[in-house]
Amino acid sequence: MSRSSLREAQAAAFSFLALGMAGLGCAKPAPEPAAPSAPTSDAATASAAAPAAAGAATCPASPTPAPFAWTADGGATPGSAAPARLGEPREEAGPHGKALCFDGVDDGLAFESNPIAGMTEFTIQVLFKPDAIGTPEAPSEQRFVHFEEGSATTPESRRALIETRVVGEQWFLDTYLRAAGGSKALIDAEKKHPVGRWYWVALTYADGTMRHYIDRELELEGEVPFEPLCSGRASLGVRLNRVSWFKGCLRELRVTPGVLPAAELAAVE
């Protein structure tokens, strides 16, 4: 069996149920389809109109959304369920503390909750180190942070992603939001950075505008409607339907219910 076929089989085999969140009702999504034969870039549908699916639930904003955090040595926010490990991510000492490193083949973490459920605005930050993989002819698409409502992934699933595109010894950032009324990807292949180094990246959203940063520096921004998501799931190191595996290390994830000013974002000094 080819590696591509193996990943398709893994994608179809895994499914996680979402934890309910108080006050956040959600319509049952359709059963999860098999993974596509090749990962499709979310950028291909950026800014496309996405009318709400028939019967899709609209989730109310939470009056008191809670922050969320995960670290490689401390686990998730107290009270949150521990993530399930996929594959065998290895622990590794690093300059910022213990990190969890992923092989780009079948390593990841799966959470049975959606950290941004009910949030009208948010800041997602992650401390990570991408490894070299891929070629200029076939850039590697790696979804290393994925939040999504519901218990099954479909093309219409409302979600937030932070991704890399690795080209040889460099990478560039791709962030993506999809809601009922539209979607948006922020991506610029000219804004490249060296692999093998640690970075803090951030994705913020409020009042119809999403922005992403690397070490406090604003790279891109765009307009997209993004209503509060229902409860759901999340993953680190891979897309929720088990494609686009990440090769590199993660140290920390932070989710804040509100937009932090650039000066308050984390950065590798």
pLDDT computed for residue 134 by the predictor: 73
All structural domains of the chain with their residue ranges: 3-20+59-264
pLDDT at residue 45, as a whole number: 43
CA separation for the pair 255, 209 (Å, rounded):
17
What pLDDT score was predicted for residue 129? 98
Dig out the tokens for 70 from the structure: 């995960």
What is the per-residue pLDDT for 27?
A: 41
Write out the two tokens for 269.
């000094």
CATH architecture entry for 3-20+59-264:
Sandwich (2.60)
pTM, 2 dp: 0.81
Distance CA 99, CA 102 (A): 10
**181, 227 contact by CB (below 8 A):** yes
**pLDDT computed for residue 181 by the predictor:** 83
Name the residue with tokens 């604003």: 218
| Euclidean distance between CA atoms 260 and 177, whole angstroms | 18
Contact 235, 245 (CB under 8 A): no
**Please, which residues have CB within 8 angstroms of residue 215's CB and are 6 or more apart in sequence?**
199, 200, 267, 268
pLDDT of residue 48: 40
Helix (H, G, I), strand (E, B) or coil at 127: strand
What is the rounded CA–CA span in Å between residue 40 and residue 255?
26
The pLDDT assigned to 136 comes to: 72
Under 8 Å between Cβ of 252 and 147: no
Residue 131 CA to residue 166 CA, distance in Å, equals 8
What amino acid occupies position 90?
A: R
Instruction: Write the CB contacts of 207 (distance below 8 Å, at least 6 apart in sequence).
Output: 121
End-to-end CA distance of the chain: 45
What is the full per-residue pLDDT of the chain (269 aa) written as tens digits? 444 444 444 444 433 333 333 334 444 444 444 444 344 555 544 444 334 443 456 799 999 999 999 999 999 998 888 999 999 999 999 999 999 999 999 999 999 999 999 999 999 999 999 999 877 766 689 999 999 999 998 999 999 999 999 998 999 999 999 998 899 999 999 999 999 999 999 999 999 999 999 999 999 999 999 999 999 999 999 999 999 999 999 999 999 999 999 999 999 98
Q: What is the pLDDT of residue 138?
A: 63
pLDDT at residue 92, as a whole number? 96
Name the DSSP letter for residue 138.
B
Neighbours of 160 (CB within 10 A): 27
Residue 99's SS3 state is strand
